[in-house]
Chain A
């Protein structure tokens, strides 16, 4: 019976675990390795060369890379500034009746088409879009503003609207762990609301802040649709660069850039686990 139990347990554990290891982890290890291989006409051959990384510098591919990073960091920062108060409000201030409704409403976008959501922003930002119509109607401007759509501003807006919920949820989870008595103790000792916020609540919710920032940053870094549908003509980010490198069969270069992206995200993740104790968030789920 004991050994049958053990086999049953392994039959439950191994399929999902192996699935993620083989299709989710192994391919990443492969492309990291292959970024040091040498290109042949149609594929690659084993080698140990940093040629792909040199091209990243000499062909000025880093310019696009840094631009994408800059946009992702800005979007992450904006999402934090907007998302933190909302998460705090939803978890601590609003009463329970509305809380669940609000949480539900913020979950919905996870399961809607992000292509459609990004595309619909065109109707808001375009020449004849909602914003221009409102501004003309109120008399603030007489001619539609042209630069709203198909610009880096539009890309920022698109990314922010796509990924704001990714910031809110981890923070809600971590605020859940801050006890009511902790906050009351701080206030009973005479701390103002902002003092409590900065000295007590924010340090205690660091895991959620880090996790949210990593989610938003990683998602923005790998997002193509916003750039494709909202960016200006020739507006080009790392994902488009990867796509065109793959189409042009320049595999090691594509793998090298992917490796750099992975290094950044995994670095952030390791930092998050080490210094912000992101792991604690998982315990909330248990």
Chain B
């Protein structure tokens, strides 16, 4: 594509950067605001003014620790189940003949609007007499995270050649041995990636948690209540905190993903 004029190239750079500013500026600005010690909604005027005052204030919020604990539990359970399902579907996927049907099924929940998915699941649980609890939120979150998370292992499973498994079998390895020595080492990057994505998506999900949780609220529900209710500036600190944790985990996940893609490519050349 050498025939693109400089003008087009520059204007496309500008458009892309503007879009990135549009997507990222508000969150970044919020992070800065959260460090302003006064009650004003402004950027700290001097470097020495930056303060963690509102972050420390979070320690005194009474219902916050329970919400954090709830979100952490839901997130970890979602991560576990999501990575297990991703692993299983990755293994099954290799041997399927009609691959696109299975992939379509896995991805289907993306196409259901969040509120409809949440609402239908809540009445379904009601029908089979399952009371709202942490576990109903987990099930809703696995359904939400699986389409995104399962793509990662599918990619890493392409590193797993049928020949490797057959060779191990011919050498007398048991099914478990094949899994332990061949399948798992080659795919654990994808499985860990799926777990991280599952955790992050669960942590930041709101509408399903809202419809499916019982008495104990998750962090997202807690934050939403504070945002609607007009709380003190510690809400910026809480938002900043959850944003920083997410960004940290995303970067780890993305680096991991880049690594397994790189590795699966070098294996594909074998």
Q: Which A residues lie at the B interface, using CB under 8 A?
A: 4, 8-9, 11-13, 15-17, 19-21, 23-28, 30-31, 34, 82, 85-86, 88-90, 92-94, 100, 102, 104-117, 119-121, 123-124, 126, 128, 130, 160-161, 164-165, 180, 183, 187, 193, 214-215, 218-219, 221-225, 228-229, 238-239, 242-243, 246, 251, 254-255, 258, 261-262, 265-266, 269, 279, 282-283, 285-286
Q: Count B-side interface residues using an 8 Å CB cutoff.
A: 91
| Total cross-chain contacts (CB, 8 A) | 252
Q: Is the CB of A214 within 8 A of B111?
A: yes
**Which of B1, B107, B247 contacts A180, CB < 8 Å?**
B1
Binds A, one of B50-58, B59-67, B120-128: B120-128
Report 18 cross-chain contacts, Cβ distance below 8 Å, ordered by A residue: A13-B92, A15-B85, A23-B143, A25-B108, A85-B12, A85-B15, A89-B15, A107-B250, A112-B27, A113-B203, A115-B220, A116-B27, A117-B27, A130-B29, A161-B22, A214-B111, A238-B115, A282-B103
B contact patch SS: helix
State A27–B119 Cα separation when bound (angstroms).
Answer: 9
Question: With A112-B243, A165-B23, A187-B3 known to touch, is A123 a contact of B29 (CB < 8 Å)?
Answer: yes
Binds A, one of B72-80, B184-192, B222-230: B222-230
State A263–B258 Cα separation when bound (angstroms).
Answer: 38
Q: Is the CB of B1 within 8 A of A92?
A: yes
Can you list the 7 inter-chain pairs with the closest CB atoms, starting with the nearest?
A222-B113, A27-B120, A120-B26, A27-B124, A113-B204, A13-B92, A120-B30
Nearest CB of A to B30, in Å: 4
Q: Is the CB of B114 within 8 A of A222?
A: yes
State A224–B140 Cα separation when bound (angstroms).
Answer: 17
Q: Is the CB of B203 within 8 A of A161?
A: no
Q: Is the CB of A121 within 8 A of B120?
A: no
Q: Which B residues lie at the A interface, using CB under 8 A?
A: 1, 3-4, 8-9, 12-13, 15-16, 19-20, 22-27, 29-30, 33, 41-42, 84-86, 88-89, 91-92, 95-96, 99-100, 102-117, 119-124, 127, 139-140, 142-143, 146, 148, 150-151, 154-155, 158, 175, 197, 200-201, 203-204, 206-207, 220, 223-224, 227-228, 235, 239, 242-243, 246-247, 249-250, 253-254, 258
